[in-house]
A and B are shown apart, each in its own frame.
Chain A
Amino acid sequence: MTTITEAPALAPGGTARKLSYVKAFNEGLAQAMREDENVFVAGEDVAGYGGVFRMFDNLLDEFGPRRMIDTPISEAALVGLGVGAAARGLRPVVDLMFMDFIGVCLDQIVNQAAKMKYMFGGSVSVPLTITTASGAGLGAAAQHSQSLEAWLAHVPGLKVVMPCDAYTAKGLTVSAIRDDNPVVVMLNKVLLGSTSEVPEQIYGIPLGQAHTARHGSDVTVIALGRMVGEALAAADELAAEGVEVEVIDPRTVQPLDTETMFASVRRTNRVLVVHEAVTFGGLGAEIAAQIQDAAFDHLDAPVLRIGAPFSPVPFSPVLEKAYVPDRVRIAQGCRKLLERA
């Protein structure tokens, strides 16, 4: 195994090869399949069609029908197949197409995959990877647009990653597959075509390690998934106003690297958490609470949260646009934090 575990450094200035988010995912998956014969992929239309989002393009050609399996529309059986196969030492990658569909197989994820190791006294591991597309922005409406990371991050035994760009899509996918636990990889639908610099070799991004996407001294923005890009754009805008924003991408929301966040908050004294999911009961609440526990004395303002309103995702583009947080709301949030003396 020619495993490079650490994420390689990107070329200075970002001049190296660029790849789209979906192609980077695909490359990471293919490399992980080459690396380990135990990795297989199962899901609806993943093999013959290459996945409805082209996530699995060309993999059938290389790996054949033994390792690329088209399944019926049977998500409970699909995840269960992954759990059982993982318990027997394979490394299944099971695709749920749209995250919303976990509604029909949540038992297998929450009550089975997540708890097996614990309930079996540690005698078995479930190295299962669940891939899925989350997020609003495509006019796909309330049953095809959700960001349900808070549901999953709440369950002990699961890990959840939210890649914000092509580079992290590849690295987090590889790490998810190599990890001995059930890991849900939440790809973001709106980001599928976005490109960034992606090293050619296989690499994993350590799970549970946050990344400081931009350094700044005035306010910390902790952004999940697609919101990282929005936060960076807001930071650019605020830089023009003389405000230096630090942007932290947790990358993995379970386990959550709170130390990186605490350290940042101790320097900036102001923090905004932003995610696409509904604000109520979202990860912003958890992060805010932890920051207040750990760094209350360093805060010059209460931790601010930005997320979606307490409503299903609307269809109409005008409503959907108003629903999903964006760079404008993030910039406003930062200004509001800075207004407090």
Chain B
Amino acid sequence: MAQRASKKSADPAANHTSAQVVRDLHERMVRIRLFETEAGKLMEAGKLPGFLHLYVGQEAVAAGVMAALRDDDQITSTHRGHGHAVAKGVSFKHMYAELYGRVTGACLGRGGSMHINDVSLGMLGANGIVGAGIPIAVGAAFAAQYRGEDNIAVTFFGDGATNIGAFHEAANMAAILHLPVLFICENNGYAEFTPQSKHMLITDVADRAASYGMPSVIVDGMDALAVHEAGVEAVARARAGEGPMFIEAKTYRYYDHQGVKGLRHPYRSDEEVAEWKARDAIDLLEARALADGTATRAELDDTWQRTRDEIAEAIAYAEAGPLPDTADLLLNVYSG
């Protein structure tokens, strides 16, 4: 990402002016939005195999949190992981090539959408098993604490994932070991097609943190700056050795659980979708930036255009990439 410090230990949150933060958040969100919309189109056109869980609508969460992290901080993600990967800086080329199943992809064509990773950027993988990334982030945080390093780990998960045992076990473990790990719940109100009210009896998922002695905060997940502020604070705490923290971001996904359309049974109303879209995170940030003079329309448009160009190039790269060689079927099953 252009404006991100290249030095590993540089802390963007510490050095950025508020205008830089806004531009950073904007760029990360635009990158996610365009990556995802184009991926959706490719899926619709029948060009991509497998499943595609789109993140559109939730951009403020990935952008807000990731802008508070350093490159050497670690994240784990979910089946809906493109947004986290893009915001962490994983290259469009590697991501699209992976969606196409090319050997040039982030997983050499072995993983697909649900397994995108870039260990060099601290992106420890999207995950096909709900909740499975949560204990892994706890392990990454443990490694940092063990070695006396000050990088932290962040795990992203949905409201639905907090019903799985792995979440509860990992939260308790992180709390008692005072690990530098942030639990980021992206509460989009649904687990697949089941609304939150039907899969838990509490309104705020953040309430769950209290039972593990973990402080929590609830933020507006459509407000990238609010997410970012909460993220900066939580990151500082964790880095200072004050232990884990839970952030619940209330957000929304615009597309279906999987794929672009295909609502078999309408499990949510058009009005509800429209209400959330009216508070679109990118629109909100742009309006604010324009109102307070942080950015001009031309500057914002430039970000969109540059990103579009980069995406076109990345898709061309993906389509031109070679397919994996079947002679390498056993590649990477083991190390060494």
Contacts and interface: CB of A to CB of B under 8 A. Distances in A.
Given A139-B49, A316-B324, A318-B326, A144 B114 contact: yes
B165 A76 contact: yes
Contacts of A314: 109-110, 324, 329
Interface residues of B, number: 42
B198 A315 contact: no
Given A73-B164, A141-B114, A318-B101, A312 B333 contact: yes
B192 A44 contact: yes
A110 B28 CA distance: 45
Interface residues of A, number: 38
Which of A138, A142, A315 has the most C-beta atoms of chain B within 10 angstroms of its own C-beta?
A: A315
Contacts of A312: 110, 333
A220 to B, nearest CB: 28
Nearest to B130: A73
Contacts, number: 132
Interface string A208-236: 00000000000000000000000000000
B111 interface: yes
Given A50-B264, A309-B329, A310-B330, A315 B101 contact: yes
Given A49-B193, A50-B265, A74 B164 contact: yes
B221 interface: no
Contacts of A300: none
A101 interface: yes
Interface string A46-77: 00111010100000000000000011111111
B154 interface: no
Residue of A45, A50, A72, A103 with most chain B CB atoms under a 10 A cut-off: A72
B333 A100 contact: no
Nearest to A98: B128
Interface in A139-159: 139-144
Nearest to B100: A316
The SS class assigned to the A binding surface is loop
A309 B330 contact: yes
A319 B110 contact: yes
Contact of B128 (A77, A100, A138, A316): A100
Interface string A283-296: 00000000000000
A311 interface: yes
Contact of B329 (A71, A73, A322): A322
B83 interface: no
A341 interface: no
A262 interface: no
Given A144-B114, A310-B330, A319-B109, A104 B267 contact: no
B143 interface: no
Interface string B281-311: 0000000000000000000000000000000
Interface in A296-328: 309-312, 314-319, 322-323
B326 A319 contact: yes
Among B114, B127, B130, B329, max chain A CB count under 10 A is at B329
Contact of B107 (A140, A315, A318): A315
Interface string A19-58: 0000000000000000000000000110011101010000
B192 A45 contact: yes
Contacts of B192: 44-45, 49, 52
A75 B191 CA distance: 14
Nearest to B112: A315
Contacts of B131: 73, 104
B41 interface: no
A45 B193 contact: yes
Contact of B50 (A75, A103, A315): A315
Interface string B102-132: 1100010111101100000000000111111
A318 B321 CA distance: 13
B200 interface: yes
Nearest to A323: B329
B157 to A, nearest CB: 10
Given A70-B199, A72-B160, A314-B110, 20 more contacts: A44-B191, A48-B267, A50-B265, A70-B198, A72-B194, A103-B129, A104-B131, A138-B49, A143-B128, A143-B129, A309-B329, A311-B333, A312-B110, A314-B324, A315-B50, A315-B111, A316-B112, A316-B323, A317-B49, A318-B324
11 contacts: A44-B192, A45-B192, A49-B193, A50-B265, A72-B160, A73-B164, A73-B199, A103-B129, A142-B115, A315-B110, A316-B101
